[in-house]
A and B are shown apart, each in its own frame.
Chain A
Amino acid sequence: MKLSSKTWIFAAVALALPLSAQAHKAWLLPSDTVLSAKDPWITVDAAVSNDLFYFNHVPLRLDTLAITAPDGSTVQPENSATGKYRSTFDVHLTQPGTYRIAVVNAGLIASWEEDGKPKRWRGKVEDFAKDVPKGAKNLKVSQSAGRIETFVTAGQPNDTALKPTGVGIELVPVTHPNDLFAGELATFRLLLDGKPAPGLEIEIIPDGIRYRDKQNELAATTDKDGAFSVTWPAAGRYWMETVLQGGKASLPQAQERRASYVATFEVLPQ
């Protein structure tokens, strides 16, 4: 029974950190990304699924949801709820400018041997010493950082909320993420812990997988400055992901790190 409680912990954290190699796609989907109302609101769906953007697997947990307002302050979500297949919350956009809405996770993954059996643990850095035995046999510890985010702008776009925090993989706009139009080239830069992240492979998949036979994914790789570009083939919503495996850990407990970044973009018609 001890094992099953560990399994439960793992499952719960795994939901919050969909970072395994065969991870489903985690996403935040805002009802609108470009708003002109005087007192605008948006609602956001948050889910983990294979199909974009359909909630048919598990909800994305909102425990680590962070909403940054155009002036850099933190905004609380309203009317949050988590159902069988999705979480949902509203955001009251009380300031003009760009909001960054993100679910950010960080933790450690440990594996070791105990009485000849493999053990696995996943959790927060502060729980590591408590949950993982000292001097465990064949202990391997990996540090993970994941960010799942989207952007919404009321009125004129600005960049204050997009300032990098310096933790994990982050996107820095060259093209503003709420200024994306069909047929146009958009350029972004990716940072790892605040520094340019070259050589990251990026996958971009358009919405509406249920009604077509192919993923229609777009691929890109970041250059030496961490920059990549994409020409949007059509208007619609797009899901972007990049994963860094086997990177250098920044925590002393870990030997390697895994970092992932997911963003949802809305591309508008010409």
Chain B
Amino acid sequence: MRSRVLSLPLLLLAGVAAAGSIDVTVEIPRIDASEYHRPYVAVWIEKPDQSVAANLAVWYMQKDTSEGAGTKWLADLRQWWRRSGRDQSMPIDGVSGATRPVGRHQLRFDTAKAPFADLQPGRYGLVVEAAREVGGRELVRIPFEWPASASVHLEAKGSHELGAIQLDLNP
């Protein structure tokens, strides 16, 4: 408690002086399909043992149905469901939301705020998993070191359900 109290003004100062940011870009590719549904997507930070350090986004169908607001298919995000989803109560405040259309979607996080402010230094992975009704499933990982001492641009590319995935760390 004590160190937290002491460091709070410092954090605030740092926030004013130079707010660091983390940008995650997720591309949902255009797919030619006679029946196209927007994919369910989960974005999270994993530890080396694959446990979840933080959920960054979960996009799933919000429409109310007899089967329960689209949660029925959350388990199709196989790895996310196993690592985190099954332990959550949906919706997750500030994390979950509606499915997104084709295109690039940017998520911006502040280095001084949760979840990144709470991230212990170490090696992590950014994981993006997508699952599409009558389509496929794909999982893309980008390993990174936290915290970054200088700006870092990292990227990976999905092959079918995900396009370009980018991680920009700007301390």
Q: Which residues of A contact B (CB under 8 A)?
A: 34-40, 153, 155-157, 179, 181, 268-270
Secondary structure at the B interface, as helix, strand, loop or mixed, is: helix
> Smallest CB–CB gap between B84 and chain A, Å?
11
The answer to whether A36 and B73 have CB atoms under 8 Å apart is yes
List, in ascending order, chain B residues with CB within 8 A of A179's CB. Answer: 82
Q: Contacting chain A: which of B29-37, B64-72, B146-154, B159-167?
A: B64-72
The answer to whether B82 and A156 have CB atoms under 8 Å apart is no
Docked CA distance A194–B70 (Å): 42
11 contacts between A and B (CB under 8 A): A34-B81, A36-B74, A36-B86, A37-B67, A37-B68, A40-B72, A156-B87, A268-B82, A269-B78, A269-B137, A270-B79
Q: Which residue of A lies closest to B81 (CB)?
A: A36
List, in ascending order, chain B residues with CB within 8 A of A181's CB. Answer: 78, 82
Secondary structure at the A interface, as helix, strand, loop or mixed, is: loop
List, in ascending order, chain A residues with CB within 8 A of B20's CB. Answer: none
> A181-B82, A269-B78, A270-B79 are known contacts. Are A36 and B71 too (CB-CB below 8 A)?
yes
The bracket for how many chain B residues form the interface is 10 to 19
Q: Does B75 touch A at the CB level, under 8 Å?
A: yes
Q: Does B143 touch A at the CB level, under 8 Å?
A: no
List, in ascending order, chain B residues with CB within 8 A of A155's CB. Answer: 86
Of B75, B78, B139, the contact of A35 (CB 8 Å cutoff): B75
The answer to whether A39 and B67 have CB atoms under 8 Å apart is yes
- List the 3 shortest-distance A-B pairs measured between CB atoms, nearest first: A38-B68, A37-B72, A36-B75
List, in ascending order, chain B residues with CB within 8 A of A156's CB. Answer: 86-87
Q: Does B85 touch A at the CB level, under 8 Å?
A: yes
Near A by CB (< 8 A), chain B positions 99-157 give 137, 139
List, in ascending order, chain A residues with CB within 8 A of B86's CB. Answer: 34, 36, 153, 155-157
Flag B38-80 by CB within 8 Å of A: 1 or 0 each. Answer: 0000000000000000000000000000011101111100110
Docked CA distance A153–B72 (Å): 13
Docked CA distance A179–B87 (Å): 13
List, in ascending order, chain B residues with CB within 8 A of A40's CB. Answer: 72
The answer to whether B71 and A37 have CB atoms under 8 Å apart is yes
Docked CA distance A181–B50 (Å): 14
Docked CA distance A40–B66 (Å): 10
Docked CA distance A38–B74 (Å): 11
